[in-house]
Amino acid sequence: MMSNDLCEELIVDIFSRLPMKSLLRFRSVSKSLYACIGSPEFIRLHILRSPTEKIMLIHDIREGEKDRRNTYTLHLEDQFPYNINIGITTPVAYHFGQFKILGSCNGIVCLYEFGKSINLWNPSIRRKVNVHYPPSWGNMCFVFEFGFGFDPVIDDYKILRITTPNSFIYTLKTHTWREIAPPTTSAFHAVNSFHCLFNGALHCTVIGNVLDYYYDYYLLKFDLSSEVFSKIELPEPSWETSAVTVIKGSLAVFSSEPEQENSLIWVMRDYSNPTSWSVAFKLNTHRFDTAWRVFPLIASNELLLDLYLDRIQVYNPESHERSMGLGDSSQIVDFIKCIESLGLLDIGISC
Query: 3-class secondary structure for 196-230?
Result: EEECCEEEEEEEEEEECCEEEEEEEEEECCCCEEE
Q: How far apart are alpha carbons 41 and 47 in whole angstroms? A: 10
Residue type, 248: K
Q: How far apart are alpha carbons 98 and 82 in whole angstroms? A: 29
Distances (CA, A) of 187 to 85, 161, 163, 165: 47, 17, 12, 11
pLDDT value of residue 331: 75
Could you tell me how far CA 234 lies from the centroid of its own chain? 22
Closest by CA to 13, choosing from 35, 40, 51, 42, is 42
Q: Do residues 337 and 295 touch, judged by C-beta distance below 8 A?
A: yes
Cβ count near 83 (within 10 Å): 13
pLDDT value of residue 245: 92
Closest by CA to 315, choosing from 303, 298, 325, 329, is 303
pLDDT value of residue 71: 86
pLDDT value of residue 175: 94
Q: How far apart are alpha carbons 107 and 142 in whole angstroms? A: 23
Closest by CA to 42, choosing from 15, 71, 4, is 15
pLDDT value of residue 292: 77
Cβ count near 126 (within 10 Å): 15
Strand partners, 295: 304
Q: How far apart are alpha carbons 2 and 341 in whole angstroms? A: 25
The segments of the chain whose pLDDT lies below 70 read 1-6, 64-67, 80-89, 135, 138-141, 185-187, 210-213, 284-290, 308-310, 323-330
User: How are the residues of the chain apportioned to helix, strand and coil, as percentages rounded to the nearest 5?
Assistant: 15, 45, 40
Q: How far apart are alpha carbons 203 and 311 in whole angstroms? A: 23
Q: How far apart are alpha carbons 201 and 222 in whole angstroms? A: 5
pLDDT value of residue 64: 66
pLDDT value of residue 186: 61
Evaluate if pTM is beyond 0.85: yes
DSSP label of 134: P
